[in-house]
Structure 1
Amino acid sequence: MVQVPSVSVTYAQTGASTKSNEFGMRPMQERAFEKRGEPYLLIKSPPASGKSRALMFIALDKLYNQGLKQAIIVVPEKSIGASFNNEPLTQFGFWADWHVEPKWNLCNAPGSDNGGKVKSVGAFLASDDRILVCTHATFRFAVDQFGVAAFDDRLIAVDEFHHVSSNPDNRLGAQLADLITRDRVHILAMTGSYFRGDAEAVLMPEDEAKFDSVTYTYYEQLNGYEYLKSLDIGYYFYSDSYADHILKVLDPDEKTIIHIPSVNSRESTKDKIKEVENIFSRLGDWQGTDPVTGFQLVKTPEGRVLRIADLVDDNPANRDRVSAALKDASQKHNRDHVDIIIALGMAKEGFDWIWCEHALTVGYRSSLTEIVQIIGRATRDAPGKTRTRFSNLIAEPDACAEVVTEAVNDTLKAIAASLLMEQVLAPRFNFSPKRADNGPTEGYDYGKGGYDPTRCNIGFNEQSGQFQIEIKGLVEPKSKEAARICREDLNEVITAFVQDKTAIERGLFDCEHVGGETLPQELTQVRLGKIIKDKYPELGEEDQEAVRQHAIAALNLTQKAKEIVLAENGETANTALIDGIRKFAMDVRDLDIDLIDKINPFGEAMPSLPRP
């Protein structure tokens, strides 16, 4: 089995992200609540950071203090509706409790989305009750039936907002655009993975510009945990059947979610039931089924009996029993309730199992959004859980030329995903041009000797997980939208760049000179410049160049820091990454955008690339 570039990050365990203020709000929730008066608010925050409760705080304020009639909570699937069950918020210091009448949590109601549940939405709109929870599908059908005007003066809160798209064929996206145009509702959007580099934009630029954003980074979240300290992300290529290799990465002693491959992928045997049975047989001897939970019992060669939840089984009675056992609130804090969960399309976004230590995925996932969601299943903080990991098994090519091409493409995509996750897990970059009148920013550590007005400075705020970095020759954004992109959406731009097949192929395989230009400049200036022009045609040329420079600076500083860290330490710890960025800046004396443009952003991936 061959491993491609992997990420290993170690955090400080400050406990800050799990501590609450006098109102019972954790840091992300407090930050979001400060913007509770905004009519259009987008919360971008990792899984397990508390977005559901942040919504509760904001929705209650809008209902009781801002004059809105009702709040409608819209989730992508029924199982996520449980995240908005009643919460006694006053017990923790807030001034109101979160209460949903049972008949208005339509995620628990029988019937189809386009039937009785739509009638229930109509009944709710006509009632004096305040809060309703339903699926994206139910909401779409309700808007179709009642029209956007029926929702005037209400809060529409959309969970897992990345399901929305500006594509005209995306009905929810079109309806939200109509609601924004009418401008009679408040919209609160939440997502843990706002990446659309491989798909359409979530909103049209003119609509997105109306949203105020709250961003809480992976760095802040993981650095502030009490127990979890290390996160490993690895990609592995195997030959023959994945069942023959799965125990090379699967440790039965770790709490694990296994996502078997899509039936349409190269890795699938086209018989998902037999694939699950094969996993059972590799782990040990089947002992039967637990009559209460429906979990499969498998005895390992060492004599331990594993409790395995099979969510691949299509039998509704079996799967419903297993799903109910996994949702059993009384078992949430019982580490021994279940050992391994095997799923295909389930147990991704919104699935809360705090004990998960390993998210093991078989087959390439083309969407970074899906990868982030799966990784999020393993990044919950829990007592005794100090290390967690995500592993992706991908099939190596065989002799067939068509399959060779497909497998090489999967290799490139895996490298792209690894590069992107490094950006996601790194501290946040704030860039500014170097000027003579610049000075230090309060709260930032500028290293030994402090701020030096004669050179480009790098400051770091550990609490917020943010860098302040001065760069000579950096173009500043002029428009409000360009400034927003540079502040909030650099990872969106980097996603589009590293998933561009031409860019990554040339960065990995081409020689260092192309005509009169070096290969890095052809990639960082020409190719990235074209991607940005295509992605943001509404921006002027100077703003497009500002976005390009900010994006390539973020990507290449992370890559150069990783190169230094690996050379000196052999691992990428978060403190080492910070030190690596500082060391690179010190070595070159002054950061210059021309220097940054001459770095091949894919260079550090090349030594580890597996050869078919």
Structure 2
Amino acid sequence: MTQSVPSVSVTYARNGRSTRANELGMRPMQERAYAKRGEQYLLIKSPPASGKSRALMFIALDKLHHQGLKQAIIVVPERSIGASFNDEPLSQFGFFADWQVPPRWNLCNAPGEDGGKVKSVQAFLASSDRILVCTHATFRFAVDQVGVDTFDDRLIAVDEFHHVSANPDNKLGAHLGQFIARDRVHLVAMTGSYFRGDAEAVLAPQDEAKFDTVTFTYYEQLNGYQYLKQLDIGYYFYTGSYAESILKVLNPHEKTIIHIPSVNSRESTKDKIREVEHIIEELGDWQGRDPKTGFQLVLRPDGRLLRIADLVEDDPRKREPVSAALKDPSQKNNRDHVDIIIALGMAKEGFDWIWCEHALTVGYRASLTEVVQIIGRATRDAPCKTRARFTNLIAEPDAAEQAVIEAVNDTLKAIAASLLMEQVLAPRFNFTPKTPTSGPQAGFDYGAGGYDPNKENIGVNEDSGEFHVEIKGLAEPKTKEAERVCREDLNELVAAFVQDRPSIERGLFDEELVPEELTQVRMGKIIQEKYPELAAGDREAVRQHAIAALNLTQKAKERVAGTALTDEPAPSERPNTAFIQGVRQFVTDSQNRRHRHGRRAAHRRREVGPDLPHGRCRDHRHLRALQHQPRQA
């Protein structure tokens, strides 16, 4: 019998908005991005399955046909993602042109090594053809060979932009810095997670300031689906071999991607082939391989025949047919094509299997970016798919001291990922100070009583997935850059905060910790390092906005814990209002407490803004719930 272990569970309205196309065939995110097609530097931050690839097609075609650019070069991190930019008949849906990539210029499909494809890039640059697709590595080699100036008057579009880093050792980041300094190309950067697992900055602050940003949130994306209404994110702690415990959380009736652990991790048995064989044996009786697809065929006790794609296999003669079968465009909408995919280092970012209901990962990933990407494999919308989940199997410690240390490290990482995903999945917060001249913002619903000029208000815009929250005494950003950070980068700051090990470690274990030390000192230091050009007043405004967003998300979650953190889907009569009502209840209760307690509570509110209720970043009940075990030192 399988176990469901959600730590984060979010329900959505399924209003269909994010999948509805306009007269040009653009979904809402694509329409929002296309509205900024004239920008020279454009950053698109949007979750998996929101249509970033097609958004880039619309923008690139406009730049080629109407903005005078010579060519478009699409750069992806690995060859498999190149398929996202295959030909698309966009004119059938109302657009003025089709997206067409001549086969010779999709270098992701070409044989040979990346370094050997530089001549193909050179040939393309000298040709009259318009579009080329290649990997990050091919592009780096080509820039080294031909120089930055050779790419003048062209569009460079970088997919999975979080692979870029401002660290001088990151060659792609260094090249992009040179392109921006020369200022003769257009750049479109696309990512579902604008932060890196190593907490390095993606771009240097002076370069990042040149980009105009299009943000489409997870909340907008999932709330606007037609079918998927619930997403669960959970952690399951096991003892012994994971292969013996995996069926406790693996439901053979769910379409599942299993990511087995790296052979260098403590969860691995060091025999990846045998691990796959064991999972297959536990699922049923092996019936052989499908001769066409290479899928493993397994007969379940109930008579169902499972089709399992093994991407762990080292023999390319066996693995390549499986990989090709998974990419087969004719099977994209066939739910019965495959049931379970087992992978190691594959089927993560850019892997498009809309039917995936469960992303099951063994061993905690060191990178929060990787976790977000893996979760994204399960968040595609598909008919009859109403619920999706991510489960992380983490080994409990054994008697060895080193294993105990590693286990605690993994637990801290799990907590960090859970805190981050709660923030990522929430609506976007727009904070404004409450003043005598404050008023309602257009498009926001302020509840049954409407906007009240005599108190702090909270409004909700369901269409855009945003909150408007008023806070007395909130510091306002003074510059456009600080306004942009408060509007666009709060999730990135939360990511940096939860990846800051001292913050999580002390918040969990230090009983004597003064909350301000985390929310003022640590967060303040993070902001100063990330945005060194901001003045002190702007840094304080950004800090207050970031802590307010983190605090509101956690407090709202506590209010709805009885309904959201459940193994069963939420009743249909409350499809997506629990979180919103939780925020409203928290703010309302906080206002009432202030009226009752007056000045006595003032000193407890310093770290989140003068009039936002106090909330320790360390909440032991919440953190222990994430661990599913008592607090450990």
Which is worse superposed, 237-246 or 534-543? 534-543
Shift of 1:151: 0.3
Structure 1 match to 2:515: 520
AA of the residue aligned to 1:563:
E
Whether the aligned pair in 1 keeps the contact of 2:78 and 2:136 (CA below 8 Å) is yes
Structure 2 match to 1:600: 616
Structure 2 match to 1:561: 556
AA of the residue aligned to 2:49:
A
Shift of 1:530: 2.5
Partner Cα separation in structure 1 for residue 427 and residue 229 of structure 2: 16
Whether the aligned pair in 2 keeps the contact of 1:552 and 1:596 (CA below 8 Å) is no
Structure 2 match to 1:589: 591
AA of the residue aligned to 1:600:
R
Shift of 1:2: 10
Structure 1 match to 2:602: none
Structure 1 match to 2:491: 491
Whether the aligned pair in 2 keeps the contact of 1:525 and 1:597 (CA below 8 Å) is no
Alignment of 1:109-124 (within 5 A): 109-115=110-116, 117-124=117-124
Structure 2 match to 1:100: 101
Q: Which runs of 5+ in 1 are unaligned?
A: none
Partner Cα separation in structure 1 for residue 17 and residue 144 of structure 2: 44
Shift of 1:568: 6.3
Shift of 1:507: 1.7
Structure 1 match to 2:398: 398
Structure 2 match to 1:422: 422
3-state SS, counterpart of residue 591 of structure 2: coil
Partner Cα separation in structure 1 for residue 413 and residue 481 of structure 2: 30
What do the CA deviations read for 1:260-294 (whole angstroms, capped 9, x no partner)?
00111110111111111111111112111111100
What do the CA deviations read for 1:121-165 (whole angstroms, capped 9, x no partner)?
111111111111111111111111110110000000111111111
Structure 1 match to 2:601: none
Alignment of 1:362-373 (within 5 A): 362-373=362-373
AA of the residue aligned to 2:19:
T
Structure 2 match to 1:149: 149
Structure 2 match to 1:69: 70
Shift of 1:112: 1.4
Structure 2 match to 1:264: 264
AA of the residue aligned to 2:588:
M
Alignment of 1:427-506 (within 5 A): 427-506=427-506
Q: Cα gap change, 1:607/1:482 in structure 2, threshold over 3 Å: closer, same or farther?
A: same
3-state SS, counterpart of residue 388 of structure 1: strand
Partner Cα separation in structure 1 for residue 9 and residue 565 of structure 2: 10
Shift of 1:197: 6.2
Which is worse superposed, 570-579 or 447-456? 570-579
- 1:184 equivalent to 2:184? Answer yes
Shift of 1:510: 2.4
Structure 1 match to 2:346: 346
What do the CA deviations read for 1:227-247 (whole angstroms, capped 9, x no partner)?
111111001111110011100
Whether the aligned pair in 2 keeps the contact of 1:197 and 1:495 (CA below 8 Å) is no
Structure 2 match to 1:14: 15
Shift of 1:531: 2.6
Partner Cα separation in structure 2 for residue 6 and residue 59 of structure 1: 41
AA of the residue aligned to 2:470:
E
Shift of 1:340: 0.2
Partner Cα separation in structure 2 for residue 467 and residue 537 of structure 1: 28
Q: Cα gap change, 1:372/1:4 in structure 2, threshold over 3 Å: closer, same or farther?
A: same
Whether the aligned pair in 1 keeps the contact of 2:199 and 2:496 (CA below 8 Å) is no
Whether the aligned pair in 1 keeps the contact of 2:72 and 2:156 (CA below 8 Å) is yes
- 1:543 equivalent to 2:538? Answer yes
AA of the residue aligned to 2:130:
R
Which is worse superposed, 283-292 or 339-348? 283-292
Structure 2 match to 1:320: 320
Structure 1 match to 2:288: 288
What do the CA deviations read for 1:17-59 (whole angstroms, capped 9, x no partner)?
1110000000000000000000000000000000000000000
Whether the aligned pair in 1 keeps the contact of 2:474 and 2:610 (CA below 8 Å) is no
Partner Cα separation in structure 1 for residue 218 and residue 235 of structure 2: 20
AA of the residue aligned to 1:89:
L
3-state SS, counterpart of residue 245 of structure 1: helix
Q: Cα gap change, 1:595/1:238 in structure 2, threshold over 3 Å: closer, same or farther?
A: farther
2:580 equivalent among 578, 581, 584: 578
What do the CA deviations read for 1:403-435 (whole angstroms, capped 9, x no partner)?
111101111110111111000000000111111
Whether the aligned pair in 1 keeps the contact of 2:353 and 2:377 (CA below 8 Å) is yes
- 1:388 equivalent to 2:388? Answer yes
AA of the residue aligned to 1:294:
G
Q: Cα gap change, 1:569/1:313 in structure 2, threshold over 3 Å: closer, same or farther?
A: closer
3-state SS, counterpart of residue 202 of structure 2: coil
What do the CA deviations read for 1:481-511 (whole angstroms, capped 9, x no partner)?
2222111111111112122222222222222
Partner Cα separation in structure 2 for residue 569 and residue 240 of structure 1: 31
Whether the aligned pair in 2 keeps the contact of 1:426 and 1:574 (CA below 8 Å) is no
Shift of 1:566: 1.2
AA of the residue aligned to 1:581:
V
Whether the aligned pair in 2 keeps the contact of 1:197 and 1:493 (CA below 8 Å) is no
Taking only aligned residues, the RMSD between alpha carbons, in angstroms, comes to: 1.7
Structure 2 match to 1:529: 524
Partner Cα separation in structure 2 for residue 46 and residue 398 of structure 1: 38
Structure 1 match to 2:413: 413
Partner Cα separation in structure 2 for residue 412 and residue 79 of structure 1: 32
AA of the residue aligned to 1:562:
K
Partner Cα separation in structure 1 for residue 4 and residue 405 of structure 2: 19
What do the CA deviations read for 1:512-565 (whole angstroms, capped 9, x no partner)?
x55xxxx22222222222232233332221111111101100000011111111
What do the CA deviations read for 1:201-252 (whole angstroms, capped 9, x no partner)?
1100000000000000000000000111111100111111001110010000
Partner Cα separation in structure 1 for residue 263 and residue 483 of structure 2: 43
Structure 1 match to 2:92: 91
When the two structures are superposed, what TM-score results if normalisation uses the length of structure 1? 0.96
Structure 2 match to 1:229: 229
Shift of 1:322: 0.3
Shift of 1:479: 2.3
3-state SS, counterpart of residue 303 of structure 1: coil
Shift of 1:596: 4.0
3-state SS, counterpart of residue 235 of structure 2: strand
Whether the aligned pair in 1 keeps the contact of 2:6 and 2:232 (CA below 8 Å) is no
Partner Cα separation in structure 2 for residue 491 and residue 532 of structure 1: 13
Alignment of 1:210-225 (within 5 A): 210-225=210-225
AA of the residue aligned to 2:615:
I
AA of the residue aligned to 1:85:
N
Which is worse superposed, 240-249 or 601-610? 601-610
Whether the aligned pair in 2 keeps the contact of 1:104 and 1:133 (CA below 8 Å) is yes
Shift of 1:3: 8.8
Shift of 1:466: 0.2
Which is worse superposed, 592-601 or 40-49? 592-601
Whether the aligned pair in 2 keeps the contact of 1:151 and 1:185 (CA below 8 Å) is yes
Shift of 1:595: 5.5
